């Protein structure tokens, strides 16, 4: 966690801000401080750890995309799952997401991998684990983040209705136990990584299906297109 006080969008702060005071979160903060003191590089940078919660207000969430943990390469993770900053090479999993969007909706491939516009349109881009050590995927699993992101999903499940949850891969799908399928929609597929994408992610149709479900509830569909890099909103 950042050395500075954690800042959350007011709606999220009201629901999960108190969770940060729990002993396991204090232990997690201590772990992250110690890792940094030992010279380890932790991604994303401290001020960006909670970007998903600040970019998409609680009341604005219409869709949840659940990732596993942040990208572990330098300069990649910036607090939104599957997203990279403009100018950073698009990772393979995100490349497959773009392939499926193009196949499903006929949208052109963007010239960057920044998904912030989705977050601004009500798509919560949440990793189950919010930090990672450079070069070591999964290195911060089991350190306390899972309970925090469980609390976030439970708050959405409890207080909202009609959210579409996109759970790709077995790790994300384990969070499905927290979601009331009678009040929300859960779409599952294999992970978009190169190891599994062609075993069911490509062809899943989740982007058009999401919009059909939202429209069926009288909600506006998600615009899954991304503006050119030169027109992106500020991060």
For residue 149, the tally of other CB atoms under 10 A from its CB is: 21
The residues with which 123 forms a beta bridge, in sequence order, are 63
Token couple for 197: 């994408």
Distance CA 13, CA 226 (A): 29
Residue 51: enclosing H or E segment and its boundaries? helix 51-55
Are 123 and 111 in contact by the 8 Å Cβ rule? The answer is no
> Half-sphere exposure (CA, 13 Å, Cβ side) for 215?
9
Angle at 149 between CA 148 and CA 153, to 5 degrees: 120
Cβ atoms of residues 83 and 43 within 8 Å: no
Show which residues are catalytic. Answer: 69
Name the E strands within 119-228.
Answer: 123-127, 132-133, 164-168, 185-189
């Amino acid at each position: 966690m950042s050395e500075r006080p954690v800042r959350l969008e007011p709606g999220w702060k009201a629901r999960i801000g108190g969770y940060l005071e729990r002993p396991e979160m204090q232990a997690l903060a201590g772990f992250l401080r110690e890792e940094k003191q030992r010279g380890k590089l932790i991604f994303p940078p401290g001020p960006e750890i909670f970007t998903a919660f600040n970019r998409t207000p609680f009341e604005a969430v219409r869709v949840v995309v659940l990732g596993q943990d942040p990208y572990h390469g330098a300069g990649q993770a910036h607090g939104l799952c599957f997203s990279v900053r403009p100018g950073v090479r698009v990772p393979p999993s995100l490349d497959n997401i773009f392939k499926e969007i193009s196949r499903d909706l006929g949208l052109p491939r963007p010239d960057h991998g920044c998904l912030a516009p989705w977050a601004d349109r009500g798509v919560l881009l949440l990793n189950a684990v919010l930090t990672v050590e450079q070069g070591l995927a999964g290195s911060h699993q089991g350190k306390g983040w899972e309970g925090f992101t469980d609390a976030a999903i439970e708050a959405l499940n409890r207080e909202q209705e009609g959210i579409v949850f996109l759970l790709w891969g077995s790790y994300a799908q384990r969070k499905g136990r927290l979601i009331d399928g009678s009040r929300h929609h859960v779409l599952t597929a294999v992970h978009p990584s190169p190891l599994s994408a062609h075993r069911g992610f490509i062809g899943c149709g989740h982007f058009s299906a999401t919009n059909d479900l939202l429209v069926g509830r009288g909600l506006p569909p998600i615009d899954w297109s991304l503006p050119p890099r030169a027109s992106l909103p500020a991060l």
